[in-house]
């Protein structure tokens, strides 16, 4: 990080339900943080104000003023024009064409670098977590959807003005289930947590998952990653079959990307991985190696993410530092 007076960088994670700001010093130590709910306000103006308040609270905890900031890195879900820092759409909050970079630069008087949240999380793992010291790191984060990111030779792979690596929308099953993007057979439609929850709820309804049924397993809002892991531990073998099948589909997608990029390591993150690392990683790895070309069979590792909740904030801050201080192309 720069040795100038303005040596602090803020990393900001604009999550689906919660937002978090973390202030990092030169040694990448978090010296102040603030977390708030993302929902509970109406419109982008109120949302930007909550982002400002969250950053200011983190600065206050760190005991520093705004003018000590070298920059802000923000990781955002949804389509992003990363060159101009415009959040094109955030359906869950009703945001469209929000100039998040320009608006925050007006307030904090420092440069802001916006990136896709999964790109930021992958970069965080590359710099500080499971991908340290590797040339090519593929990050895959299965959740409600399936996000992907890739760092190659220290640079996030993306299009000219939009994020890339939409692994969740690779077609793995032509004419398969309908995906939220409107196409059929996408990886998300068969391997996301939502797809797993739907299948598990069906098993509970049919009486094939008694523990899951006892905790409201036909209600998709209650079929979270931890509940799925508990159901498996309590003997719901049908749930384990469903999870392993979905993880196997994820391995199909990962094996295909391995054939294209030959990553040194594939980092898996998110609630499913954290809740049942052994079952999930084993099934993903078995399938990925089966679907990678023989020449690539042993050139990659599959590892669980190490930074967990901090991956996006820390990665966004580090990417902002790389763009602003070391001339990496953002």
CATH of the domain at 186: 3.30.420.40
More confident residue, 16 or 141: 141
Q: Using N-to-C axis directions, what is the helix angle for 43-62 and 100-108, rounded to 10°?
A: 40
97 and 143 both lie in a single domain = no
In a domain, 111, yes or no: yes
102 and 169 both lie in a single domain = no
252 and 317 both lie in a single domain = no
Least confident of 78-92, 107-121, 314-328: 78-92
- Sign of the C-alpha dihedral computed for residues 47, 53, 57 and 63 taken in this order: positive
55 and 152 both lie in a single domain = no
The domain in which residue 101 lies consists of 8-116+310-325
End-to-end, the C-alpha distance of the chain in Å comes to: 16
Whole-angstrom Cα distance, residue 255 to residue 273? 18
In a domain, 123, yes or no: no
In a domain, 283, yes or no: yes
- The pLDDT of residue 8 is 95
In a domain, 121, yes or no: no
- Does the pLDDT of residue 99 top 80, yes or no? yes
- The pLDDT of residue 17 is 78
Number of domains in the chain: 2
Going by their DSSP bridges, the two strands 69-76 and 80-81 should be labelled as unpaired
> Average pLDDT, whole number, for the chain?
92
82 and 136 both lie in a single domain = no
252 and 278 both lie in a single domain = yes
In a domain, 221, yes or no: yes
110 and 143 both lie in a single domain = no
Our measurement of the distance from residue 299's CA atom to the centroid of its chain's CA atoms, rounded to an integer in Å, reads 24
In a domain, 2, yes or no: no
- Does the pLDDT of residue 114 top 50, yes or no? yes
- Does the pLDDT of residue 2 top 50, yes or no? no
Query: What percentage of the chain exceeds 70 in pLDDT?
Result: 95
287 and 214 both lie in a single domain = yes
pTM: 0.92
More confident residue, 304 or 7: 304
Q: What is the pLDDT of residues 147-166, one digit of tens each?
A: 999 999 999 998 887 888 99
């Amino acid at each position: 990080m720069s040795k100038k007076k303005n040596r602090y960088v803020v990393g900001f994670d604009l999550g689906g339900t919660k937002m978090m700001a973390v202030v990092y010093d030169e040694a990448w130590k978090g010296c102040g943080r603030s977390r708030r709910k993302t929902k509970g306000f109406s419109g982008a103006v109120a949302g930007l104000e909550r982002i400002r308040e969250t950053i200011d609270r983190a600065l206050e905890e760190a005991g520093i003023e705004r003018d000590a900031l070298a920059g802000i890195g923000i990781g955002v879900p949804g389509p992003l024009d990363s060159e101009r820092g415009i959040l094109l759409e955030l359906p869950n909050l009703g945001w469209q064409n929000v100039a998040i970079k320009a608006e925050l630069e007006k307030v904090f008087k420092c440069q802001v670098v916006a990136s896709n949240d999964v790109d930021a999380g992958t970069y965080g793992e590359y710099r500080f977590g499971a991908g340290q010291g590797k040339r090519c790191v593929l990050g895959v984060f299965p959740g409600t959807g399936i996000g992907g990111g890739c760092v190659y030779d220290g640079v996030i792979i993306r299009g000219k003005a939009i994020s890339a690596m939409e692994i969740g929308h690779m077609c793995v099953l032509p004419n398969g289930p309908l995906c939220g993007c409107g196409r059929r057979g996408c990886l998300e439609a068969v391997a996301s947590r939502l797809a797993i929850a739907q299948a598990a709820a069906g098993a509970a309804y049919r009486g094939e998952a008694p523990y899951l049924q006892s905790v409201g397993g036909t209600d998709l809002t209650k079929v979270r990653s931890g509940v799925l892991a508990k159901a498996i531990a309590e003997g719901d073998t049908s749930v384990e079959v469903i999870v392993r099948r979905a993880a196997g589909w994820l391995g199909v997608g990962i094996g295909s990307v391995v054939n294209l990029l030959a990553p040194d390591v594939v980092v898996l993150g998110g609630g499913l991985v954290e809740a049942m690392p052994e079952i999930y990683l084993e099934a993903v790895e078995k399938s990925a190696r089966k679907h990678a070309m023989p020449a690539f069979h042993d050139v990659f590792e599959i590892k669980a993410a190490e930074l967990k909740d901090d991956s996006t904030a820390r990665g966004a801050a580090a990417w902002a530092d790389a763009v602003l201080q070391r001339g990496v192309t953002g």
